[in-house]
Each structure stands twice: as structure tokens, then as C-alpha cells.
Amino acid sequence: MRLKFIEEKIAKGFMIIASLAVFAFVVNIIYTIFRRGIPALNWAMISQIPAGGYYNGGGGGILNAIVGSLYIVLCSTILGLLISIPVVFYLNVYLKKDSRLAYIARLAFDVLFGIPSIVYGAFAFTIMIYLGMHTSLGGGILVITLLIIPIFIRSMDEVAQQLPKDLLDSTYALGATKLETIKVVLRQIAPGIATATLLSVGRAIGDAAGVMFTAGFTDSIPTSLNQPAATLPLSVFFQLSSPNADVQDRAYSAALILIFIVLVISILGRLITNYFSKHKI
């Protein structure tokens, strides 16, 4: 009789330790990056592009990578939304619940969701060679868009599947066509869209393997879609591969900047999500 209570205590202890471990990892990662990243951090890093010999310890900063990453994230998020919202809408409003196409499509998006970004990158690069394209901002945007569409669709679809049937029925009862219910549906799943965007942006800005072959790397800020573009994760990676200790320190600062951007985006995203939830029934 006593045994089960002892077992309960022990089990609970382990669970608490496990949950604390999650915390510990977060704290440790952030602390490690901060401790090593702060010393080399300065204004020049985020306001200048790399000067000559930057990767051997020369002056300058990583503005090229920050801007490149933001370009890619912004464009692919917009493109991703434009493609995935219609798909989610189609799956949930136009198609019936037991539709075969919906089942296959959801499975396909699950598979796409799982495909590693390096495979996307390799695939896109092959196509780019085939089309005679060079590594470029456009290529990077393309790959990241491919990468985040399944994220968008999966997380929006999860919310859209909870769409109350009454809500659609009420809208149809007013004489709405399926297309016209989109205004209602969008408002209802707005928090879901915000969450999905948050997830996608986080994934898009942090992805290195996908843009490696497709966006290339450059020291200048791209002015057109045909020019190669630097990205923050790759910038961290390349600086870290340098044998020069000063440059390695800068890699830590760049990682810090990357974390900072991700955290800011996620906090902003949360605020926006709350705002969008106000009409939800």
C-alpha cells in the first residue's frame, strides 16, 4: 500500500527534474552565447558591411547578412502566406471533410514539412543550374518559401479544422458563396495565421542549409533579385570557421544578434496574436 505512494513521489521527482532540464538547457544556451557574444559586440557590427579583410580580422560589420536575412525572410513570408492561405481555405471550405484530395494533400504537406532544408537546397540548386541561374537573393527566397509553406499550411490547417460548422453555416445562410466566406474564415483563424507566421519566420531566419547553395554569400547588400545575398546563419558559420580568434568572437556576437532578432520577432508575434484574437468567437 505504501509502495505506490513512494513510487508516485519518485516518479514526480523525475518529472520535475526533466522539466527543469528543459529550463537548464535554455538558460545554458542563452548564457553561453551571451557570455561569449557580448565582448565583441559593437555598433560597427550591425551598422557596417564587411571591410576588406574582414574575415582575417579586418574592420566592418555584418550589416550585409542582417539585411540579406531580413530581405529573404520578409519576401518569403509574404509569398508563403499568399500561397498557403488559399490552400488552407480550399482544404477546409471547398473540400468536404472526407475528401480524398484533402487527405492526400495533408499527407503531402506533412512529408514536405519533414523534408530537410538541405534537401530543399540541393533540389532547388539543381533546378537553378538547369535554368542557368546563379546563386542569388531570388534563389534564396524561393527555397525559403518552399521550406516555410508546409509550416504555414500545417499550423494554419490545425486551427482551420477547428472552425465551427455553425459559423460557416451562418455565413452560407446569408447567401454567401464559398469564396465569400473567406472574410469570416480569415478573421476566425487570424490568431492561427499569426502563430504560423511566427513559426515560419523563426524557421526562415535561422535556416542555413537551404540558403547555402541558393542565396550564396557576399559582402555587399544586394540591390536586385539576381545578386547573391548574405544571410546571418551563414555569416555566423563562416566567421566561426575562421582560424582567427577575433573573427570567431565576432561569430558569437553575430549569433547573439541572431538570437536577439528571433526573440524580438517572437515577442512581437505574441502581441500581434493577442490583438488578432479579439474578434474570435
Partner 1 sequence: MKSYPYQNPSRATWAEDYSFLNNDINNDEGLAFNKSYLKVKDLNLYIHKAHILKNVNLEIPDKKVTCIIGPSGCGKSTLLKTFNRLIDDTEGIKYEGSILVDDTDIFDKKTEITDIRKKMGLLSQRPCPLPMSIYDNIAFGCKMHGERNRKKLNQIVEEQLKAVGLWEEVKNRLHAPASKLSIGQQQRLCLARGLAVEPEFILADEATSALDPISSKHIEELFVKLKQDYTIILVTHTLRQALRIADHVIFMYLGEVIEAGSADEIFNNPKQELTRKYLEGAFS
Partner 2 sequence: MSSNSSYRILKNKIAGGLMFSITVFSVLLVVLIGLGLYLKSVPIFEHNSFWHLIKSSEWRPGNNQFGFLPFIAGTLWITLIAVILALPIALLSALFLTEFSKSYLKKWVFTALDILAGIPSVVYGVWGTLFIVPWISEKLAPHFVEYSTGYTVLAGGIVLGVMILPLLISLFVEIFSAVPREFRDASLSLGATKWQTSKHVILRKTFPGILAAVALALSRAFGETIAVLMVCGNLPLLPHSLFDSCYPLPALIANNYGEMLSVPLYESALMLAAFLLFIVVFIFNASSRAVIYRIERKFK
72 in contact with partner 2 (CB under 8 A):
no
155's grid cell: 499550423
Gap between the Cα atoms of 238 and 230, Å rounded: 11
The interface with partner 2 within residues 14-33 (CB under 8 A) comprises 14-19, 21-23, 25-26, 28-30, 32-33
Phi then psi for residue 176, to 5 deg, are -80, 145
Q: How far is the CB of 76 from partner 2 (least distance, A)?
A: 15
Cα of first residue to Cα of last residue in the chain, in angstroms, is 49
- Round to whole Å and give the CA distance between 270 and 199: 11
Total number of residues that touch partner 1 (CB under 8 A): 26
**Residue 162 lies near partner 1 (rule: CB under 8 A):** no
Q: Establish if 177 lies at the interface with partner 2 (CB under 8 A).
A: yes
For 38-136, where are the alpha helices, taking DSSP H only? 43-47, 63-89, 100-114, 117-130
Q: Where are the alpha helices (DSSP H) in the chain?
A: 2-37, 43-47, 63-89, 100-114, 117-130, 137-160, 165-173, 182-188, 190-206, 209-214, 232-241, 245-276
On the CB side of 215, CA atoms within 13 Å amount to 40
Judged on CB neighbours under 10 Å (0-12, 13-18, 19+), 260 is: middle
- The pattern of x and - marking residues 248 through 277 that bind partner 2 according to CB under 8 A reads ---xx--x--xx--xx--x-----------
Single-letter amino acid code for the residue at 206:
G
Q: Binding residue for partner 1 (CB under 8 A) from 9, 12, 270, 280?
A: 280
SS3 175: coil
Instruction: Please say which residue, 1 or 223, places its beta carbon nearer to partner 2.
Output: 1
The single residue among 49, 200, 233, 250 that binds partner 2, judged by CB under 8 A, is 233
Q: Report what 188 binds from partner 2, partner 1, none; CB cut-off 5-8 Å by kind.
A: partner 1
Among 4, 177, 223, 224, binds partner 1 (CB under 8 A): 177
Member of 79, 83, 102, 184 binding partner 1 (CB under 8 A): 184
Q: Output the smallest distance, CB 254 to partner 1, in A.
A: 42
Among 9, 134, 183, 270, binds partner 1 (CB under 8 A): 183
141 contacts: CB under 8 Å, gap ≥ 6: 71, 72, 75, 76, 79, 225
Give the contact letters, 189-208, x = binds to partner 1 (CB under 8 A), - = no. -x------------------
Of residues 217 and 276, the one with the C-beta less far from partner 1:
276
Selected binder of partner 1 within 173, 223, 224, 245 (CB under 8 A): 173
How far from 277 is each of 38, 58, 88, CA to CA, in Å? 37, 49, 19
The reply on whether position 178 binds partner 2 by CB under 8 A is yes
Minimum CB separation from partner 2 for residue 183, in Å? 13
246 lies in the site for partner 1, by CB under 8 A:
no
Closest approach of Cβ 155 to partner 2, in Å?
A: 11
| DSSP helix/strand/coil, 65 | helix
**Residues at the contact surface with partner 1, assessed by CB under 8 A:** 96-98, 164, 166-177, 180, 183-184, 187-188, 190, 278-281
